[in-house]
């Protein structure tokens, strides 16, 4: 445990670690990670996001800090801060690429080594929550991330799905991954659950509805809520603006705030 204790220094100030997972690509893991971070920040929490999607790093673009550089300090890499208050900090391979369009063409061992370095060598300081945004699937990056974080006892994983049966089926495999690796499932989020018309605010279920909730019931895990497709949300994320601050009347806001509150409640129960 001496080695783990030595590595622990950079995560010693992190109270809770959350992983955002899905067996399926394109379900909005990075969107949920971003909005969850903003929701927790609005609840007065300091949040970090570790982007371990090495082949598709989108978190820097979400916050419009993709041109920022990572600096070194005595204890490792200094994360990129999103605001002057330093209430949200980020680390991603996107900050380490020479050009934003560079492809990461790496085999498993090199990916695994960088993930271990991200876990051990980023000087996060004091954080209430560290959100780990993962790529789709259940392979190298996921195993390396879970194993590297295991000594720090993560709070658990949030699984993201969309309502369709194909997506729900892939997320079912992610549930099996969590079970095999001993990772606690905090709950399932059904993203893109209906489309909110920007003109009349009516919600239409484009991709059907209820798949995520049905899966949660079947698997015996909490259902954290549905997040609708909202053009305002998409536009604000594209432009790097703070959706929670700009669009508090959006139909997605209560859903995101409710999910964040459930995470906060779960974290406080775990701490007590």
Residues annotated within a binding site: 23-30, 197, 200
Q: Which residue ranges are tagged as binding site for [4Fe-4S] cluster?
A: 197, 200
Residue 42 token pair? 């609005």
Q: Which residue ranges are tagged as binding site for ATP?
A: 23-30
Contacts by 55-61 with C-beta closer than 8 Å and gap 24+?
Answer: 55/103, 55/104, 55/135, 56/135, 57/92, 57/93, 57/94, 58/30, 58/94, 59/30, 59/33, 59/34, 59/90, 59/92, 59/94, 59/133, 60/90, 60/92, 60/94, 60/95, 61/94, 61/240
What is the C-alpha separation between 81 and 243, in angstroms, rounded? 18
């Amino acid at each position: 445990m001496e080695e783990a204790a030595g590595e622990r220094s950079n995560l010693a100030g992190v109270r809770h670690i959350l992983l955002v997972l899905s067996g399926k690509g394109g379900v909005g893991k990075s969107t949920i990670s971003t909005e969850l971070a903003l929701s927790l920040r609005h609840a007065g929490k300091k949040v970090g996001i570790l982007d371990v999607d090495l082949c598709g790093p989108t978190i820097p673009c979400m916050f419009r800090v993709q041109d920022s550089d990572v600096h070194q300090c005595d204890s490792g890499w200094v994360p990129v801060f999103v605001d002057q208050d330093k209430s949200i900090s980020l680390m991603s391979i996107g900050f380490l690429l020479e050009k934003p369009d560079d492809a990461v063409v790496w085999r498993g061992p090199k990916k695994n080594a960088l993930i271990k370095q991200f876990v051990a060598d980023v000087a996060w300081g004091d954080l209430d929550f560290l959100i780990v945004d993962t790529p789709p699937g259940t392979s190298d990056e996921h195993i390396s991330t879970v194993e590297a974080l295991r000594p720090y006892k993560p709070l658990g994983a949030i699984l993201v799905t969309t309502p369709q049966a194909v997506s729900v089926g892939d997320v079912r495999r992610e549930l099996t991954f969590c079970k095999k690796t001993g990772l606690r499932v905090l709950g399932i989020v059904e993203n893109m659950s209906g489309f909110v018309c920007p003109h009349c605010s009516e919600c239409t279920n484009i991709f059907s509805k209820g798949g995520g909730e049905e899966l949660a019931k079947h698997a015996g895990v909490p259902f954290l809520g549905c997040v609708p497709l909202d053009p305002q949300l998409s536009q604000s994320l594209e432009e790097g603006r703070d959706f929670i601050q700009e669009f508090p009347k959006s139909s997605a806001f209560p859903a995101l705030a409710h999910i964040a509150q459930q995470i906060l409640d779960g974290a406080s129960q775990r701490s007590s």
